[in-house]
Structure 1
Amino acid sequence: LDETRTAEKLARHPSFTVVSEQIKARAGETSLETAISLQKTGLHTPAQQAIHLALPVLESKNLAFSMVDLLTEAKSFAAEGTGFTELGGEINAQIKRGDLLYVDVAKGYGTGLLVSRASYEAEKSILRHILEGKEAVTPLMERVPGELMETLTSGQRAATRMILETSDRFTVVQGYAGVGKTTQFRAVMSAVNMLPASERPRVVGLGPTHRAVGEMRSAGVDAQTLAS
């Protein structure tokens, strides 16, 4: 088939039409050729891609990290031919653009640290929502029955009481894997199920993975993945 006939045949295919419309919509263009061109120019360079992949790895440990750590992690993702010079240049460019924030001194954490602006803005948004929800709702319980928490650790009891007795709209419970968050939440669900039906909230769990969803369901929570 010549180029014209090939294009005409593809244009009649439903999948091609859907994908073409999505590409044009994402680029904000009516011409498919222009839209594809714009999408290509938006692709990461090898150095940008390596840094893009390295950031989540570092942030899974700490929100702030050193340039040396970022360089080292990015190098492990870098394509052949992309060296420390290119990576360092891209890091400096991102600092200049504001994509990476340079922290000269962070008391208790160190000096010369970097923070991703995207993560920084996300953290600020979370804190803002928490503050806006202070003393905004009626507590689910005045006091959690002690028998529901007999087998819990002191930390688990404190978290259970905080969730059920607080007047704040949002609460945050943080803990490493295996410290007993699921066990603690079973006590929360037991307490919630003791409430009159008219006062009982609907509890929905959202998890990043099917494994996380499975753990929440084992605690009696109606859960699903974020993607679904």
Structure 2
Amino acid sequence: MIAASTATAPRIADAPIQEAVARSHWLDAARPVPRIWLVAKRALDIVLSALLLVALAPLFVLIALGIKLSSPGPVLFWQTRVGKGGREFRFYKFRTMIDGAHLMHDDVSHLNELDGPAFKIADDPRVHDFGSLLRRASLDELPQLWNVLRGDMSLVGPRPALPREVADYQPHYLQRFSVLPGITGLWQVSGRANVPFRRWMAMDVWYARHWSPLLDVWILSRTVPAVIRGEGAW
């Protein structure tokens, strides 16, 4: 577990997130990696995301129809998330909640089942019936293949965070922003929402400091079994 003193550290919320991340000495702790590793990671991201977007196009159509039949509103949902270096980007998912669910956040905030600044409800009343199925199978995450192709994300990396969550981070958690966020990662194959927040952050920081192509392949190999088990997928 990485420890840090926060007694004199400025709150992340005291400055714009990208500025706070950029000036954080914790990013300097990220070890240098061979350039060929970075090239290989990006090449794998481009090739696999492009192939999957084409191969899964019929499934995308079926999911879109299911969402439209289950709940009025758009097929896709997007949020601002925080990526590498604190840069914010538009993050896509299939919409699993009723349209306008974000306006009900305060009404359901007391139902939050996660510790720390993260927010998650196992049986969220805002989730429509088809959306619940998509979540259990992690199919709502598929549009993020577009984020990977664009370079906002990688196939493997820490889960992209919401700005409001980052505002309450301990400063040493900012190490997770030294790498691209990912669709899958250590947290995602280790129980997801069942993992306590501090353990989740420790996993992300460890990945950011130790990632390698071999580690990415290992995580990818565990992703499908994790999705099938559905542990923490809510």
Higher RCO structure (Cα 8 Å, ≥6 apart): 2
Instruction: Provide TM-score, normalisation by structure 2.
Output: 0.26
Instruction: Provide TM-score, normalisation by structure 1.
Output: 0.27
**Structure number with larger C-alpha Rg:** 1
